[in-house]
Structure 1
Amino acid sequence: MYSIGQVSKRSNVSISTLRYYDEIGLLKPAEVNESGYRYYSDKELILLQHIAALKEIGFTLKGIRNLLLSGEDTDEGSLKSFYKIELEAIEEKRRKLDVLEKLLITANHAFELKGKADPDDILMFIKAIQTPPNIREAFLTEHFTDREIKIIKSLPDLSSNDPKTAQWIQLIRMAAKHIDEEPSSEISQRLAKQFFEISMEWFDQDEKLIDKYWTLIRPEEGMEEKVYGLDRKVMDYIDRIVDWYLAVNVQEENRLNEQKN
Structure 2
Amino acid sequence: MYSIGKVAKEFNLTVRTLRYYDEIDLLTPSRIADSGYRYYSKEDILVLQRVIALKKLGFQLEQVKSILNENDWEDIFEEQLIIIAKEKAHLDYLEKMLRLTQQLSFIEQDINWTNLFHYIGQTEEDQVKQMAYLKEFFSEKEREVFNNPLFHMGEKESMEIIYLLRIAREQKYENPSSMKSQTLARKLVLFLDEAFNGDKELIEKYWRLQKEAPEKGGLILVEENVIEYIDKIIDFYEVNEFKNEE
> What displacement does 1:39 show?
4.6
Question: How far apart, CA to CA, are the structure 2 residues paired with 1:235 and 1:225?
Answer: 16
Aligned match of 2:13: 13
Q: Hey, what does 1:232 align to over in structure 2? A: 224
In structure 2, the gaps of 5 or more residues are none
Q: 1:184 aligns with which of 177, 189, 192?
A: 177
- Any residues of structure 2 matched to 1:1-261 within 5 Å, and which? 3-23=3-23, 25=24, 27-31=26-30, 33=32, 35=34, 36-40=36-40, 41-42=43-44, 44-46=47-49, 48-50=51-53, 52-53=55-56, 57=58, 64-67=60-63, 71=66, 75-78=70-73, 80=74, 83-128=77-122, 135-154=129-148, 155-162=150-157, 165-219=158-212, 227-253=219-245, 256=246
Matched residues, percent identical? 29
CA RMSD of aligned residues (A): 3.5
Counterpart CA distance in 2 for 1:200 and 1:118 is 29
Q: Deviations over 1:10-53 (max 9, x none)?
A: 42212122123434x26351556461343554474255325642
1:34/1:184 CA distance change after superposition, 3 Å: closer
Assess, with a 3 A threshold, how the Cα gap between structure 1 residues 226 and 147 changes in structure 2: closer, same or farther.
Answer: closer
The residue identity in structure 1 corresponding to 2:170 is K
- Letter in structure 1 aligned against 2:154: S
Structure 1 76/84 Cα, relative in aligned 2: closer, same or farther at 3 Å?
Answer: same
- Measured in 2, the distance between the counterparts of 1:202 and 1:95 equals 27
For 1:8, the aligned partner's letter is A
Structure 1 residue 115, shift from structure 2 partner: 0.8
Structure 1 residues 99-136: Cα deviation after superposition (integer angstroms, max 9, x where no partner): 23222222222222111123443333434597786554
Structure 1: distance between partners of 2:68 and 2:237: 76
Q: Is this contact kept in 1: 2:153–2:219, CA < 8 A?
A: no
Q: Structure 2 vs 1, CA of residues 96 and 74 (structure 1 numbering), >3 Å: closer, same or farther?
A: same
Q: In 2, distance between residues paired with 1:5 and 1:73?
A: 24
| Cα displacement (A) at 1:180 | 1.9
Q: Report the Cα offset of residue 152 of structure 1.
A: 0.9
TM-score, with normalisation over the residues of structure 1?
Answer: 0.72
- Structure 1's 100 and 247: CA in aligned 2 closer, same or farther, altered over 3 A? same
After superposition, the Cα gap between the structure-2 partners of 1:224 and 1:234, relative to the gap in structure 1 and judged at 3 Å, is farther
Moved more, 240-249 or 26-35: 26-35
